[in-house]
Amino acid sequence: MMQEPIFFSGQFLLATPGMADPRFARSVVAICSHDENGTLGINIGETVEGISFHDILEQFDIDTVDAPNCSVFLGGPMEKQRGFIIHSLDIN
């Protein structure tokens, strides 16, 4: 009998204390997509000092009235010119 694969989309991956890879040491990774085609995760282990969500929205001329002003997390390893917004399903 073949067992169905286990996928972890929507879960968090926590680094163990002995993680040797410095890119992931002490990190928390949000697993955005994990299926038979591969995995996409975003490292959300630390916040960026001196910049808020409203700061980023304002750079793109997006009105901040209805958006909560929250912390911005440093992700990676990835290009620093890219960004992702992770939110719950209750965002309008």
Where in the sequence is the domain holding 63, given as residue range(s)?
12-74
CB of 30 closer than 8 Å to CB of 41: yes
pLDDT category at 79 given cuts 50, 70, 90 is low
Q: Is residue 82 part of a domain?
A: no
Q: Is residue 4 part of a domain?
A: no
For residue 27, count other CB atoms closer than 10 A to its CB. 20
| Sign of CA pseudo-dihedral 45, 87, 13, 23 | negative
Q: Is residue 88 part of a domain?
A: no
Q: ∠12-16-17 over CA atoms, to 5°?
A: 140
Least confidently predicted of 26-30, 36-40, 66-70, 87-91: 87-91
What is the tens place of the pLDDT at every residue in 38-68?
A: 888 888 877 888 999 999 899 989 999 988 8
Q: Is residue 80 part of a domain?
A: no
Q: Which residue has the higher pLDDT, 79 or 1?
A: 1
Q: Is residue 23 part of a domain?
A: yes
Q: Total domain count for the chain?
A: 1
